[in-house]
Structure 1
Amino acid sequence: MGDPGSVALTVEHDGGVQAIAFSPDGTRFASGGGDSVVRVRATGIGPPLDVPSSGFVTSLAFGPDGTVFAVADGEQVFLRSATTGAVLWQGPPQPGDAVNLVRFLPDGRVVAVTDTAVFVLDGATGSPVRSIPVDTPLIAGADISRDGTLIALAIDERHGGDHHQAGSARVLRLDTGAETGRLTPDDAVFAVAFSPDASLVLCCAADDTTRVFEADGGAQLWPAEDDVDDQVTAPHCLAYDPKGRWSVVGGSDGFARVLEAESGVERGRAPKLDPAAPDPGVGAVTHVAFGPNGKVAASACVDNVVRLFDLDGKEHYAVGTDEVLAMGFSPDGRLLAIGCFNRAVLLDNGPFGAG
């Protein structure tokens, strides 16, 4: 174990790294993006694996048992052997639509999300099992419940013909496509995240609000209607803690805030700055993530700093980086992966990420 914030592994690329993924056991790490190779590396000792891509990799995911991984590459989804890199199947869920997200369900099926639809693909063959079109898209973000039954979608409706300011957060059943809940803020929704038990959905929107609503029915839990103006954080990205007690929200004002999940009350923020001090010029927060232990969170800002901090906002490290395009913790929390231009980097979290 190295010092907190030290570099444990660097994976060189020729282009922006927009997609990263750890295997379920944390022994392997995959990265891809704007160059012609997806690279799989051991986080400890092991042989490297390079597989070709068309240079439009937007998402990567390992299967539940770690023997395969899925690649969203342009309009195509590839399923590859995690040992040899061989293509097991490939195909476009919907020709003409780029795939923005791939994730595995617990039973091995693959979910692929485009700008306009959600597809469930057979894990063995890649054949479409279900297609769920979205009215008035664009799909700006998505999250899947742990049990694989529900998907939450962040919808940006500003791209319609009338360019009106509108959006919604929606919850759909993956087995039928039926909608179980919807929340409609006053503008586009940027991001969504399920609580661990999938009963609640956290979302943030362009109307400068962060909200929590019930996945079944869509009733808003917080903020109360009279408190909306008090909750403004200029939010852009968010995450639930794995135990469901806390959430972290990153805002364009430069702060990552830790909020009590039940009430939305702020517990801490990073960086911890004196509110009376002059504006330090901290850039917008572009990525946030909670560590698996629920005790630390990470943020990346346009000021090119990655921070690891506790629930009160106390920083364990702040590391200068290139612009961060992707970010995520290893399953055991000991590593924080970031995708940047021309490289992916694994940062050692030291003792703070474990436990």
Structure 2
Amino acid sequence: MSDPGTVALRAVQDGSVQAVAFSPDNKRLASGGSDTKLRVRSIGIGPPPLEVPTDGSVSGIAFSPDGTRIAVTDFEQVFLRDSATGAALWQGPLDPGNSVNSVRFGPDGRLIVATDTLVAVLDQASGEIKQRITVGPPLIADVDLSRDGTRIAVAVDERHGGNHRHAGSARVYDVATGKEISRLARMEAAVFAVAFSPDGLQVLCCAEDDTTRMFEATTGKQVWPTPEDIDDQVTAPSCLAYDPKGKWTVVGGSDGFARVLDADLGIEKGRAPKLNPGSPEDQSFGAVTHVAFSPNGKHAASASIDNVVRLFNLEGKELYTVSTDEVLALRFSSNGRWLGVGTMNGPLVIDNGEANQG
């Protein structure tokens, strides 16, 4: 039995790793990045590594729910491949002139793919686009899919191009019709990240005006903070995640902390890293760039620009810290045993320990 924080897999490669994904059986890690190759490696004993060339830098990877297929995005194209052999089942451009940034499988097997200005729903069998949701000139900063696959939340940054206003929005769209259902009211800042609650009724978002907000998915009404709440603390939130059980959220900020918040009230429960008693008051940590929640809702992980990956509990107590190269991707396996990390110099898998599974 390995101790939590043990690196179970480390691979050095020529180029950065911008996307990682675990197979549904938690036995393989897929990774890809700037060296224009998709790699699928076993964690421990298993089949030899699978290596498949791509046409450009890999930006997104997702396994199908049954693990037999793997979707890959690179530059302007989307690929669907056999996860065992790497054989291409279909491939094609999505939105010429715009990079393809992410891909995921919906519960019905369809693919949800996002570019800078478009969210598309693709048929898995053929790759045919079944629905287009065009956001327009602004930049799509982040996308999340509700657990039942019926709604898409989009974080929009309107500062790009010739428009330098501090503007943006958090929006919710219907997958079937492509129509906008709601958007967060009173938002006047670029939105960086969005996440649905497990029941799909609420959306968490963070923005460049130093706010983290929860709003109703169907109405856009803000749940918290309430108008009477006053928060003058500068945390500069930039990344977030929802506890799969729906009770907690974690938000990472450029002040160096990952904060665990009560999902119903927005009240802080804990933060990591912890300040050491007796240490100088000017203790500082690198800005947090990635956060993720474990499937059991008991732990969260963060990565920061001081090149440290942390696993911590709801109160912020650290279970481990692991030094890495600069982190570009962070993801838990579905059983919580593994933490996949994509870095500037290759992927690694950190063992969270058998006791932290489930």
What TM-score comes out, normalization by structure 2 length? 0.96
- The CA deviation string for residues 220-260 of structure 1, in whole angstroms up to 9 with x for no partner, is 00001232534642101000001000000000000000000
Structure 1 position 12, deviation (Å) = 2.9
How far apart are 1:279 and its partner, in Å? 2.0
Residue 234 of structure 1: aligned partner: 236
How many angstroms apart in 2 are the aligned matches of 1:40 and 1:101?
18
CA contact (8 A) 1:173 1:179 kept: yes
Deviation at 1:201, TM superposition (A): 0.3
Closer/same/farther in 2, CA of residues 261 and 232 from structure 1, 3 Å limit: farther
**What's the counterpart of residue 173 of structure 2?**
172
- Equivalence map 1:213-224=2 (5 Å): 213-224=215-226
**Alpha-carbon contact 1:209-1:231 (below 8 Å) kept:** no
Choose which of 209, 212, 236 in structure 1 pairs with 2:211.
209
Aligned residues: 355
Assess, with a 3 A threshold, how the Cα gap between structure 1 residues 351 and 84 changes in structure 2: closer, same or farther: closer
Aligned partner of 1:67 in structure 2 is 68
Is the CA contact 1:223–1:231 (under 8 Å) kept in the aligned structure 2?
no
Q: For the structure 1 residues 351 and 83, does the alpha-carbon distance in structure 2 shift closer, same or farther, using more than 3 Å as the test?
A: closer
Shift of 1:55: 3.8
CA distance in 1, matches of 2:240, 2:10: 26
Percent identity (aligned): 63
* Aligned pairs (5 A) from 1:36-185: 36-47=36-47, 48-183=49-184, 184-185=186-187
1:304 to 296, 303, 307: 307
Aligned-partner Cα distance in 2 for 1:315–1:274 = 12
Distance in 2, Cα, partners of 1:118 & 1:231: 34
Q: Point out where structure 1 has 5 or more consecutive residues left out of the alignment.
A: none
Equivalents in 2 of 1:178, 1:217: separation in Å? 14
Query: Equivalents in 1 of 2:323, 2:12: separation in Å?
Result: 17
The one-letter amino acid of 2:254's match is: S
> Which residue of structure 2 lines up, in the alignment, with residue 19 of structure 1?
19
Report the AA paired with residue 357 of structure 2. A
Compared CA separation, residues 228 and 176, structure 1 to 2 (3 A): farther
Task: Provide the rounded CA distance (Å) in 2 between the counterparts of 1:117 and 1:78.
Answer: 17
Q: Please show how residues 258-337 of structure 1 align to structure 2 within 5 Å.
A: 258-274=260-276, 277-337=280-340
Equivalent AA in structure 2 for residue 22 of structure 1: F
TM (norm. structure 1) is: 0.97
Shift of 1:73: 0.7
- The one-letter code sitting in structure 2 at the alignment partner of 1:259 is L
SS at match of 1:312: coil
8 Å contact from structure 2 (residues 144, 194) kept in 1 = yes
> After TM superposition, what 4+ stretches of structure 1 lie above 6 angstroms from structure 2?
none
Q: Give the Å deviation of 1:11.
A: 2.6
Change (3 A) 1:9 1:280: same
**What code does the residue aligned with 1:242 have?**
P
Equivalent pair of 1:115/1:138 in contact (CA under 8 Å): yes
Match of 2:259 in 1: 257
Range with greater deviation from structure 2 (127-136 or 76-85):
127-136
1:151 deviates by 0.7
Distance in 1 of aligned mates of 2:51 and 2:12: 12
Which of 326, 339, 350 matches 1:347?
350
Contact 1:64 / 1:104 at 8 angstroms: preserved in 2?
yes
Cα pair 2:325 2:345 within 8 Å, conserved: no
Contact 1:210 1:232 in 2 (8 A): no
- Please say if residues 271 and 313 of structure 1, whose CA atoms lie closer than 8 Å, have aligned partners that are also in contact: yes
The offset of 1:307, in angstroms, is 0.5
Which moves more between the two structures, 160-169 or 269-278? 269-278
Q: Distance in 2 between matches of 1:325 and 1:352?
A: 27
Rounded to whole Å, the distance in 2 between the matches of 1:96 and 1:268 is 43
Q: Is the 8 A contact 1:156 1:189 kept in 2?
A: yes
Structure 1 range deviating more: 235-244 or 104-113: 104-113
Q: Rate the CA distance shift 1:228–1:13 in 2: closer, same or farther, 3 A.
A: farther
Separation (CA, whole Å) in 1 of partners of 2:169 and 2:339: 31
Bigger drift between 89-98 and 259-268 goes to: 89-98
